[in-house]
Amino acid sequence: MDRELNEKFSLDGSRVLVIGGAGFIGSYVVELLLKENVKEVIIYDNFVRGKYENIKDYLNDGRCYVYPYGGDIRDIDILESAFKGVDYVFHLAAMWLLHCKEYPLTAFEVNIRGTFNVLEAARKNNVKKIIFSSSASVYGDAIYSPMKEDHPFNNKNFYGATKISGEALCQSYYYSYGIPIISLRYANVYGYRQDESGAYTGVIPTLLNKIDKKEDITIYGDGSQKYDFIYVKDVALANIMALKSDVEFGYYNVGTGMQTSIKELVELILRLTNSDLPIYYKPYNENDDRQFVKNRVLDVSKAYQDLGFKYHYSLEDGLKETINLRNLNKKES
């Protein structure tokens, strides 16, 4: 039985659609797919958060191309045309946490209605399997730690709500229409290609930018907040392993299971960059949703047991590679 399912979910000779494939995580998924014996990798992206720079090298491979008629999951007719003849789908397109807070209506249209559009297109085109990018944000702050997949939803922000909704839609499509779907709940993902210039930049790119400019390093709160940081290449690997696994439905934590406080993270980055900038502490702004999450570390045993996934990069190794690639890119540009 396992052999039949594995053959059913084989990437050999397949056509794969990567929604959000020019983005931070999506571009690494594309890279790994091109190491498989796939027939085609189709990148569907509206290039709001995604960048051509992230995928330009992969487009040299004749099997890989950007869908030519558009790439927004809100454009239903264009989206459905991109699904024609596709075997597998990775759905990574989404608005990010702080963006969702500022633009909730657009976030609803992209993260919730957009996910519905993806599922409908998959149903109409008999897609064999979908990998949906969810988030550990569905858990909110930890009631117990490390958090297993059955941890209660304790989310308090709109982004987390959209991911809970997306997971519920995925579950309904699996049970109603039999579409195999796996939802991956990412921990705090970091790495090269993460947005560094926008208003919604993550904590690690923000720190690196401040170090470059020799600006003050500020930690909000007391720095004891504990998170699970996972390198982007490991997240991409989890996507590929989830698709190739014989699992037809489920939710899986994708992290390291290792806790790191914000204070420890900042001190590590300062050491790796040979920086001696002082650290200052400030209270959270009143409207900062991040103050509600003080402990989010994942139990990753289920992903290892069912999908065979285990992270390869320690936080220090992942940060070293991120910093090296970042510095190399600066020299070339």
Burial 296-333 (b: 16+ CB within 10 A, else e): bbbbbebbeebbebebebebeebbebbbeebeeeeeee
183 token code pair: 């939802």
Residue 83: both structure tokens together: 């699904």
Instruction: Kindly name the residue from 44, 139, 159, 251 that is annotated as catalytic.
Output: 159
CB 138 within 8 A of CB 163: yes
- CA separation for the pair 276, 155 (Å, rounded): 36
65 is catalytic: no
Q: How far apart are alpha carbons 190 and 319 in whole angstroms?
A: 8
Instruction: With both helix axes pointing from N to C terminus, report the angle between 315-332 and 262-272 in degrees, rounded to the nearest 10.
Output: 50
Residue reference for tokens 């590590």: 268
Any idea which residues carry the catalytic annotation?
159
